[in-house]
Every structure is written in C-alpha cells, then in structure tokens.
Amino acid sequence: MSAPQYQYPASAPPETFSGEPPRLFGFDDTSAVVAVEIVGSEAVLIRAEGEARVEERRPFRPWLLTADGFDAAGSALPVRDVEWTRLKGGGLSQIAEFSNWSAFQDTREYLRAQGVPYHAYGHPVKQFLVRSGITLFKGLEFDGIRRLQFDLETTSLRTTDPAARILLVAAGDNRGGDWVFADEDEHTLLEQFFELIRTADPDVIEGHNLFGFDIPYLAARAEALGIPLTMGRNGSALSFGRERNLPIGGITRPFRPAVLWGRHFIDTLFGVQRFDIGRGELESHALKEVAVHYGIAATNRVYLDRAVLAQTWKEDPERVRVYARQDIEETRDLGSLVLPTEFYQAQMVPDSYQNVATGGSGEKINSLLVREYLRQGHGIPQSQPPIACPGGYTEIRETGVLRHVVKADVESLYPSIMLQFGVKPEGDTLNVFLPMLSELTGRRLDAKARSKRKGPDAAYWEGLQGSFKILINSFYGYLGAPSFHFNDYRAATQVTTTGQQLVKQVADELVNTGARVIEIDTDGVYFQPPAGIETEEDEVAYIDRIGSVLPAGIRLAHDGRYAAMVSLKVKNYVLAGYDGKRIAKGASLRSRADEPFGREFLARAMDHLIAGHPDLVGEEYQELSRQITQGELPVELFCRRERVTEKTFNSDAKKRSREVAKNAEVGDSLTVYQRADGSLGLVAEYAHDEDRFHYLDKLHKFASRLEQAMGEEFARLCPKPVKKQFQAEKAGQLNLFG
C-alpha cells in the first residue's frame, strides 16, 4: 500500500536524553522507611529492622516556591523565620524555607491573597519527602510490612439508630494473627481492639469500605462511649481530614480520609475499583462478589444477610464469628492482589503510602518532576492555561455477532510516540521528562520479563511492573492536564494526532490484506482475520507483518483472540473467549445504575446471541414482560440503590428522591422502586404497588441496547409496549404489544 500523507515527526534527537539521569527512587538511600511523621522542626522516620520498628530523626524545614519576579524584601511579608534562595532558571524559581509550619502557612496565605504565583504542598510529610529525596519501603517487598485487616459486625448500618452498637470486631494480619473481640460490654470490646492495634503495631491497617463504613462507625461508637481512639504509634488518637476526591479512571469518588500517626489506612474497596478500571470484569465491587470472582473465597464460605445479622448473633454466634473471620481472610487476600501497585509506587513517589493509594497518577508524575528539579537546584515552570486538544481516534465499522475476532494493539502507543519522536514539555529545560519515561519503560520491561519466570519473587516483579505501567501510561495525560507545572497542550496535540494516524494506518493495512475491521479505539483494532489465518500462531505472525509498516520504535502486538464478539456501538461490546469466559465493555452492558432484572436479561441475551439463538432472546423478553405485567417479578429485581447526597436535599431535580430520603442522612444508601403514581418508595415499604408499565418500558430500553446486534429481527422479537394496550391488558384483554 502507499504510505499515508501524514508526516510523522522526526525521531528523537540524541540530545533529548542527554544530561544527568533522573532519580526515580529518590536520591536518599535510606531503606525500610515504613512511615514518616513531622514533629516540630523534625521529621520522624519509622524504619523496619526485621520485625522491630525504630525511629530516626531528620531536620525539617517547610518550604514553598514563588515566581522569579516576586520581591519578598519589598513586600509586607515578615522577614523573620524564613530564608529566600534564588534557584537556576525561570518560572517559580525562588524557594522560601521556614523555621516553622506557622510561618509557612502565613506566607502561603499572603501569596494567595496577593495573587502571587506560588507552589506549595499543604502536607508537611510530602514537603519533607520531596525535599529530602527519601521514599518509603526501599528494600522491602509487599509482605515485608505488617498489614492488619479488621472488620466490624454491627446491629445496624447507621450509627444514628438507637440500637446501634458493634457486636464484634474481627482482625487478622499477614503474620498469622487471628482475633475476634465480642465482649457483651461494647466498651470492653473496643478497648480490647485498640489495645491490639497498639501491641500488634501494624504499619498498615486495611479493610473493605474502610473509609465509607468501618472507620466512621468505629469513631462514632467510640465517641458515644467516651473512649479515645488512641491507636497512633505515638499514643495519639485517630483524626479525620477534609473530604477529598479519589480518582478512579475517568471518574472521582468523594471520601473523607482518616489519619493515624505512624500508620497508613488502605481501603481495599478503592484498590479493587482502581484495579478493575482497565479490566472491566466486575459487576460489583462488594467484598463477597469480588472474592468469588477472583477465586479467593473459601470453599466453606458462610454468607449471612446483614438485615438479620443481629438476630443470627443471638441464635448462632459461632456462625457469625466464622463469617467475620472469612471476611478478614478475603480482605487480606484481596489486598495482596490489588494493593502491590501502589505499594511499589510509594518506593518512587515522594508521599505517604495512604496518599499514593488515593492520589491521581498525574500528581505522582508532577511530584517526581518537582523533586528532580529541586535536587538539581532549578526552578519549575508555571502551568499553561488549558486549550482544547484532540482525543484518540475511535470508529466502529461492524455491528452484530462476529466470529473469530482478534485484537491488535499498538503497545504503549502514546509513551512510544513520545519516546520515539522526542515529544516533551517545552518547560522541561533540564530534559527530565523523557529520560524519566524511558527509564520507567526499561524497568517495566525488565520487571515484566522477570515476573514471568517461576520463582518465589515472581509476585514482587509483577507488582513492580504494574506500578511502572500505570505511571508510564499517565505521562500523556499529564501533558494535557490543566494544573500540572510541566503540562504542554501543543505536545499533547502532537501525541494524539500522531496516534490517530498510526492506528488508521494499521486499520488500512488490515483491510488491504483481506481482514475485516470491526472497531478502532485509540491504540487497538478488533478485526476478523483473512482466510488462512486460523491458529494463534498464524494471528501473531500476521500482526507482525501488519506492524512492519509502522515507524521504527512503534510495535504492533497480538492482544487477544476471541471466539465471538457482540459489537453494539463504539466501546460497547461483549467478547467471548475460547475458554467460555465473557468480557463486557461499556455502560450499555454493565452499568451499576441498571435494575437487576435488566442486567440479568442482558447477560442471558448475550449468551443466546453468542450461541446463535436470537429467538431465545425474544422468548426471554416475552416471559419477563409477562412477569412484570402480572406482578410476579420480585421487588429485589426491579429496585435500585440510590445514595443520599447534599443534592438530594437541595436540588429541584432530586424532588422524588428527597421525599423518600426524608428520614435518611447524607451518605446513606437507599433501596428504592417506582410506585404506580410515579413516586419513589422504599423497598422495605413495598406494597405490590410498582409502576408496571414503567418497568415494561425499562425492559424495552434494555433490549434496545441489543438492536444493532439483532438487526431486522429486533422489532419482531422485542416489540415496544404500548400503554393503551397495557391498560387493556390490566382490564382483562390479552394483547400487550402493538
């Protein structure tokens, strides 16, 4: 085929990678630091020496950066308690170092009020780590730290209920510890648990939905009983920070962090949500469902209904104990699966483990760059104002049920473009950005290769390569983000336009060699291979041939093969593996906002379509319609969960929700359904008064998501319900559909 008209950028010149290599793991080799805390003008380093924990102290001076043009001496700032130093370069190139935290805060507030550009970290631990070059966990593997898990079993999910109390606390650790505290006196029970934290002395405390339930509930009950939450390593009490947002892929989730001196809180719920972003395998992130999915649930797993747990505790307390212990085992095993990524990132990123596990990748890269510039005595640029940038190229060419589908993927497309063509931020005058990306990429490939070797350290290398991968894939997003110091929208645009042309070139070559392209999405192409390409080996060789048309340094790889693909619309499809496993992508097929009956219908419909039996989809549809019409569908299948937020009580758009949530609090989750009069009702108050036509219409909307896959047969197999005929049906006539 003829070469495309697009002119790729020239390859990166040699000087792009000149200069001193960046220090990915910081520039202070202090090992086995499991936590850092600030006390006055000192940083307290808590280090592991085997199973012992020892303290070291280092000097700490708060600091911030201001613009080169700021005249500190001529301002109204007090000159005491601060030392100003001019750094090399322009931008934010004056560093102020303070003798105490109060002086830092006063100066920061003054600069903010005067509109003076500045850069400052609001947390003293991060300030210390960035400036000192120390990072956590150097020389330690994931299980080299002490990880303690705990779980509460309670009479109620709400601490405001009059009968609310903690029935038991189950705990365990990765050193073989196993505890259940279940004294009749709740005061004694909590005292025993707090004493365990002090004596077991964990570095990390883990739990599933830790920030959303266990810690707030624990704190509320301790306050009600007048018990101080003294679980810190220095004897201090637990406290709470301000609400912040946890980035999970392209969305954020609000949470309120808990703070404990010398220890880290890690929520495995957050961990599994982030772990699943790229995989898209999970329908639910609840502990029990996740444990089953990943094969870590015990074969004799006890399952209890939380609604009757208090009653079960009275009748069979041992069964509840076993249930709670199994919660702990699953949390520990789940943590071993989903948490190593952030653990190994903390060996590079200058921040606490808890903040690394709840922070965004862009900020991690920013702090790596800031640390390196300060190490070299250089100022940092101010961030560029945002402008629109093109995104990745997406296109769907075929819908329906397609057999023998292969995916070709341009490996690490955006990082490869940046490295091959030398695309970097204009403000990176020290040439740190690309060498850092290059070193991460090299280390990742090495760790990935080591992880594939059998041996006791395979898990270490797998965790490490996963940490590198997440940071590598965030370098492009960093360029196009509005708040980072080294952002560059021109560079971001160059990366995306080059990426668009590369993936189009792959699609063109596939078509020219007889393949049938199904979908193009940013860095990959799903296609049906031409005749004669049958085995996986054939597919790999074919993709290698296709990839030979790409520029040097850009590699096309075989990224999966599937017995069938149900293609619906861009980024919405189901893949059926040759092993029978299914992968569903897109909100059309796996939205958690959907009612259970809709999710179940779609799952069964997919099985029928993949098996080549669209008529069975129609039978499922007709039977479910009949059940809805006759009121035979259990309320558990057409209810949905709704979270109570501030908007519930303040927004006109939430009027229906406000009425049903009048006795609830912000943060509660309600299970609701739609009544026949259009209002919402609580499932607990269900009176067989559901809006049946509403749910018939919802069923049709669920089915409509499959229209592209079913083609002309859709209207016959899944007819749209008509309200007049539905009303006639209710009156005793039989024809439901038009």
Neighbour tally for 356: CB within 10 Å? 26
Tokens read off for 293: 């999915």
Report, as an integer, the average pLDDT of 472-481: 90
CATH 1.20.120.430 fits 592-730, yes or no: no
Alpha carbon distance 20, 12 (integer Å): 18
Q: How confident is the model at residue 1 (pLDDT cuts 50, 70, 90)?
A: very low
Query: So what's the pLDDT on residue 280?
Result: 66
Query: So what's the pLDDT on residue 462?
Result: 77
Query: So what's the pLDDT on residue 6?
Result: 63
pLDDT at 732 over 70: no
Q: Which residues make up the CATH 1.10.132.60 domain(s) of the chain?
A: 592-730
Which CATH number, 3.40.140.10, 3.40.190.10, 3.30.420.10, 3.40.50.261, labels domain 142-345? 3.30.420.10
Please provide the DSSP assignment of 684-713 as one string. GG--S-B-HHHHHHHHHHHHHTTHHHHGGG
Query: So what's the pLDDT on residue 263?
Result: 98
Report, as an integer, the average pLDDT of 187-201: 95
pLDDT at 259 over 60: yes
Yes or no: say if 397 and 519 are a contact pair by the CB < 8 Å rule. Answer: yes
Q: Which residues make up the CATH 3.90.1600.10 domain(s) of the chain?
A: 394-585
Report, as an integer, the average pLDDT of 531-545: 96
Which CATH number, 3.40.190.10, 3.40.50.2300, 3.30.1330.10, 3.90.1600.10, labels domain 394-585? 3.90.1600.10
Report, as an integer, the average pLDDT of 242-263: 88
pLDDT at 80 over 80: no
Q: Which residues make up the CATH 3.30.420.10 domain(s) of the chain?
A: 142-345
pLDDT tens-place string over residues 86-143: 999 999 999 999 999 999 999 999 999 999 999 999 999 999 999 999 999 999 999 9
pTM of the model: 0.85
pLDDT tens-place string over residues 557-602: 999 999 999 999 998 999 999 998 888 888 777 677 789 999 999 9
Alpha carbon distance 53, 41 (integer Å): 22
Query: So what's the pLDDT on residue 77?
Result: 79
User: Residues, the chain, total?
Assistant: 738
Distance of CA 686 to the CA centre of its chain: 35
Q: How confident is the model at residue 469 (pLDDT cuts 50, 70, 90)?
A: confident
Query: So what's the pLDDT on residue 3?
Result: 42
Least confident of 41-50, 67-76, 214-223: 67-76
CB within 8 Å of 404: residues ≥ 6 apart: 528, 529, 561, 562, 563
Q: What is the mean pLDDT of the chain?
A: 89
pLDDT at 734 over 60: no
pLDDT at 286 over 60: yes
Q: How confident is the model at residue 429 (pLDDT cuts 50, 70, 90)?
A: very high
pLDDT tens-place string over residues 127-186: 999 999 999 999 999 999 999 999 999 998 888 888 899 999 999 999 999 999 998 899
